């Protein structure tokens, strides 16, 4: 009596057997676990029977292990979903201007440069100074008396003599007189988003800013 090669039959029909059919699973499910427990009970030493508490402990351990695995899968799925949503949101920022903490700004051709200063308390006198890459002061912008909060500033891209400065990186330093002392303040710079990068394995989204390079999406304070 001839035998039929089922593999060839499946192949001729354009079908293949799944790996689940070919390879037995190594995972222990609830049914297999109960069978193992019954076998353990049937083969235990009659002189030294297992305590009920031991069975309950095994059941609790199995349930906890399965619960942790299910929770891990759920968290992984949620993380991937959040990363996808964040990437979708970040992609809409291409071409927009965002405000993020930095002491360096990029002056684009024919454009000005701006940002804000985080002022923790009111001041009688505040100014913002722009420096070139050699450390020379290009221009000082007087801001005068200010209340606490985010104070916005703008630089038109010219020096003290009114000359247009070349495009490139410029450093920004803000100082405020608070309680009679001159203190350096945290600055945020407005930058244009050129593109968006998504990290591998849900590692987050980065914005590629004009002239400044990559910045974590979570660092963005304001979308302008």
**Count of beta carbons in the 10 Å neighbourhood of residue 184:** 10
Tens of pLDDT along 153-170?
Answer: 999 999 999 999 999 999
Ordered by where they begin, the domains of the chain are 97-223 (2.60.40.4070)
The 8-class DSSP code of residue 218 comes to G
The 8-class DSSP code of residue 50 comes to P
Structure tokens at 179: 């309680």
Task: List 168's β-bridge partners, or say none.
Answer: 107
Structure tokens at 213: 């390079």
Q: What is the mean pLDDT of residues 115-143?
A: 95
- pLDDT of residue 114 exceeding 90, the answer is yes
End-to-end CA distance of the chain: 81
pTM surpassing 0.95?
no
Q: Please state, in angstroms and rounded to a whole number, the distance separating the CA atoms of residues 133 and 111.
A: 18
Of residues 222, 212, 216, the one with CA closest to residue 103: 212
The 8-class DSSP code of residue 157 comes to S
Average pLDDT of every residue of the chain:
77
């Amino acid at each position: 009596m001839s035998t039929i090669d089922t593999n060839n039959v499946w192949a001729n029909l354009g079908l293949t057997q799944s790996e689940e059919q070919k390879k037995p699973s190594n995972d222990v499910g609830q049914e297999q676990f109960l069978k193992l427990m019954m076998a353990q009970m049937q083969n235990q030493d009659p002189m030294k029977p297992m305590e009920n508490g031991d069975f309950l402990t095994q059941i609790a351990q199995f349930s906890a292990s399965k619960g942790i695995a299910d929770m891990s899968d759920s968290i992984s799925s949620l993380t991937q979903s959040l990363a996808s949503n964040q990437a979708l949101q970040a992609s809409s920022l291409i071409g927009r201007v965002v405000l993020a903490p930095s002491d360096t700004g990029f002056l684009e051709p024919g454009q000005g440069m701006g940002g804000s200063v985080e002022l923790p308390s009111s001041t009688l006198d505040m100014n913002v100074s722009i420096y070139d890459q050699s450390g020379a002061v290009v221009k000082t912008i007087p801001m005068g008396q200010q209340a606490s909060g985010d104070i916005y500033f703008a630089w038109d891209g010219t020096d003290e003599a009114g000359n247009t400065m070349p495009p490139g990186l410029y450093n920004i330093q803000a100082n405020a007189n608070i309680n009679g002392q001159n203190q350096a303040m945290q600055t945020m710079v407005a930058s244009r988003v050129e593109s968006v990068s998504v990290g591998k394995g849900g590692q987050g989204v980065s914005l590629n800013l004009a002239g400044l390079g990559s910045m974590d999406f979570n660092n963005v304070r304001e979308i302008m």
